[in-house]
Amino acid sequence: MMHSDRYYLQHMLDHARKILALPGSAGHRSYEIEEAVAAGEVIEDYPDDKYRPSCLIMGATTTGRFLHVQASYPPAVKIITVYEPSPEEWEEGFSKRKSHE
């Protein structure tokens, strides 16, 4: 991972902690998302995303649960979506999409 990628992940993690601490945060447990981003890597980049540039981060929790976290880039970091990747759609390790040719 490049130094700039690690910087962005740390920046996103800092913002995610603030967002996930808000009352009413739903979905995956906030500590799992935090763990996945902290241990994660950017696997896809979406510079032309609909609302703002974002990326897809793949990371695992301390219990070995794999999560994909889509987040916008700083300075206004937003967690867009979080999901468990499907083995039918992703190669082993969940870092690369399977080709459906």
Kindly state whether residue 90 falls inside one of the protein's structural domains.
no
Residues 6+ apart with CB under 8 A from 70: 46, 54, 55, 56, 57, 79, 80, 81, 82
Q: 61 in a domain, yes or no?
A: yes
Give the total number of structural domains in the chain. Answer: 1
In a domain, residue 19? The reply is yes
50 found inside a domain: yes
| Assigned domain for 44 exists | yes
Task: Let me know if residue 74 belongs to a domain.
Answer: yes
Reported as a single tens digit per residue, the pLDDT across 7-47 is: 566 666 666 665 555 444 444 577 888 889 889 999 999 99
Tens-digit pLDDT profile for residues 43-88:
999 999 988 999 999 999 898 989 999 988 888 788 888 888 999 9
94 occurs within a structural domain:
no
Q: Flag whether the pTM goes above 0.95.
A: no
93 is a domain residue: no
Q: 30: domain range?
A: 3-83
